[in-house]
Amino acid sequence: MAHNTTRKLVAGSLSAVVQSFLSEVYLEASESGRVSLRALAGRLGVTPPAVSRMAQRLVRQGLLRREGACGLVLSEAGERIALKLIRKQRIFEVFLMRFLGYTWDQVYSVAASVSAHLDDELVERMFVRLDKPTRCPHGDPIPTSDGRVPVIHEVRLPDLADGARGVISRIASHDGELLRYLGTLKLIPDQPIQLVARAPFAGPLRVRVMNGRFHDEHVIGLELASKVWVTPKD
């Protein structure tokens, strides 16, 4: 029964709520390595009991599996659905910025609210019109149409060695205020930077933004720096 139900769901009858739930499971697993009911409730802005009820339903439908007492893992079918929605959302984010004048701190909330309702062909036409982007405005990779996620070789900014250089690959946050602040510092994807030094005892970092012949230096806290992912330069 679960197998037949899953085949019907994959065909496109899932609600936007279910698709978003599955995509958040995928994202939480990617960022934290494990998906707990409590962490997922925080991502979705609902209570743990509400997450538990939805999880039980999706386990019965073959889209999720239980892992331990409180953990969740996507099934193969669930992962396909999650990646399809993530692809739609990230393509639409790029479209919103390039053609509709949205800023990078605005696009996530707009795209998240409508992406599950977008027609597949419409999104693929957007993708071609945008010259087939590989990353969203925050630097996150756009899954391919067959469900593969390009690998980005990266580390968190605090994990760079003192004096090391790199290029910002992505920002691991969709908080509008945080993104606006990082934008004022030019700490954005594709920006070359250098970790100049760090204060002892988990103190702030001094980073240099490389703008051609001109360099700007900023001091940022460890928590904020941990949101910045960097591709190290050899």
Average of pLDDT values for 127-133? Answer: 98
- pLDDT tens, 60-105? 999 999 887 668 899 999 999 999 999 999 999 999 999 999 999 9
Mean pLDDT (the chain, rounded) = 90
Instruction: Answer whether residue 39 is part of any domain.
Output: yes
Domain boundary among 21, 50, 79: 79
CATH of the domain at 225: 2.30.30.90
CATH of the domain at 46: 1.10.10.10
Q: Using a pLDDT cut of 70, give the percent of the chain over it.
A: 93
Instruction: Answer whether residue 146 is part of any domain.
Output: no
Count the domains in the chain.
2
Domain boundary among 79, 113, 138: 79
Instruction: Answer whether residue 41 is part of any domain.
Output: yes
pTM confidence score: 0.89
Q: Tokens standing for 230?
A: 């960097």
Q: Tokens standing for 35?
A: 């998906």
Instruction: Answer whether residue 86 is part of any domain.
Output: no
Q: What residues make up the domain containing 58?
A: 2-79
Instruction: Answer whether residue 214 is part of any domain.
Output: yes
Instruction: Answer whether residue 122 is part of any domain.
Output: no
Q: Which of 228, 223, 145, 128 is nearest to 185 (CA)?
A: 228
Q: Which of 154, 134, 46 is nearest to 90 (CA)?
A: 134
Phi and psi (nearest 5°) for 230? -130, 140
Amino acid type, 14: L
CA 69 – CA 2 distance, rounded (Å): 22
- pLDDT tens, 148-165? 998 889 999 999 999 999
Instruction: Answer whether residue 95 is part of any domain.
Output: no
- pLDDT tens, 180-214? 999 999 999 999 999 999 999 989 999 999 887 77
Domain boundary among 79, 111, 138: 79
